Structure 1
Amino acid sequence: MDYTQILIKPLISEKATTMKEVANQIAFYVHPDANKIEIRKAVEKAFGVKVEGVNVVKRRARARTRFGRTVGTMSGFKKAYVTLAEGEKIELFEGV
């Protein structure tokens, strides 16, 4: 897989922003079939930074219920928390 297919989009939330400032970690939605090694190589190639570690969280799809009846589904996804090496930085929206 090409790195443009592995990294879907960065996760922008309050928790992700705090992790970026405190622990130097960036969160991404990634392709469900991507593993840690592929995610590491994709981030290093896309942003030109050194990656120290990758943690992956996978959420399965669930049925959405209302009054005991299934009314739809909530899609599943895979997130990767990428820890950058000391002194490395990815600027996603700074200066906008």
Structure 2
Amino acid sequence: MDPYSIIIKPHLTEKSMNAIDQKNELTFAVLRTARKSEIKNAFEDLYAVKVERVNTQVTSKGVKIAYIKLAAEHSAEDIAVKMGVF
């Protein structure tokens, strides 16, 4: 499956902005049917980083959110800057 069809867009809230600095974690809206392993592989392909873990949740509006924690050698802040979040 195409990585661009799995990872839809960044999910930016105050909580997710704090997680970038404090937890080295990025938050994205993802395809509702995507599994954690598919999200991990898609993110690693798109951004050439190592993902430590992926947690997901479905919001009350029906949007699936993925919390992607990066390995220690990669910076979530650097990726956020490349995406234009800051």
Q: Percent identity?
A: 37
What TM-score, normalized to structure 2?
0.86
Of Structure 1 and Structure 2, the greater strand share is in 1
Please say if 1:82 is aligned against 2:68: yes
Structure with the higher helix share, 1 or 2? 2
- Rounded to whole Å, the distance in 2 between the matches of 1:21 and 1:14 is 11
5+ unaligned residues in a row in structure 1: which ranges? 61-74
Return the index of the structure with the highest Cα Rg: 1
What is the TM-score normalised by the length of structure 1? 0.78
Unmatched runs of 5 consecutive residues or more in structure 2: none
Q: After superposition, what is the alpha-carbon deviation per residue over 1:56-85, rounded to whole angstroms, capped at 9, x for unaligned?
A: 00125xxxxxxxxxxxxxx41100000000
User: For residues 73 and 20 of structure 2, what CA distance do their matches in structure 1 show?
Assistant: 13
Give, in angstroms, the shift of residue 12 of structure 1: 1.3
